[in-house]
Amino acid sequence: MTAFNTQKKASRLSGRKVPDSLTRLIAQQSSLFRETLAEREEILRHKWFLSERAGRDVGFDTAAYDWISHHRAAWRDAWRKHHQHLVAAV
């Protein structure tokens, strides 16, 4: 169970609402959240390269599909190796 889910469960059991700022803070500390943000940045970079090559904006969906199909596995392995301290629980 993640820290986020634990906090949500604890707040339900205690009857107190967890402040949204605390929920955001917990989510931002999540290794999955950080990996997802890094992945999004890579897709945006890939979109720029594809768009430059095509001479037009190829769109996020096209870039995401192409990046996931061709680059995601190697990128994820390298990212997780470099960020081992964050992904120990993933």
Q: What is the pLDDT of residues 10-67, one digit of tens each?
A: 445 456 676 777 666 776 677 788 888 899 999 999 999 999 999 999 999 999 999 9
Q: Is pTM, for the whole model, over 0.85?
A: no
Q: How far apart are CA 86 and CA 33, in angstroms?
A: 11
Q: SS3 of 16, please?
A: coil
Residue 4 has pLDDT above 60, yes or no: no
Tell me what pLDDT residue 20 has: 75
Distance of CA 30 to the CA centre of its chain: 9
Q: Measured between alpha carbons, how far is 42 from 24 in angstroms, rounded to an integer?
A: 23
Q: Are 67 and 8 in contact (CB under 8 A)?
A: no
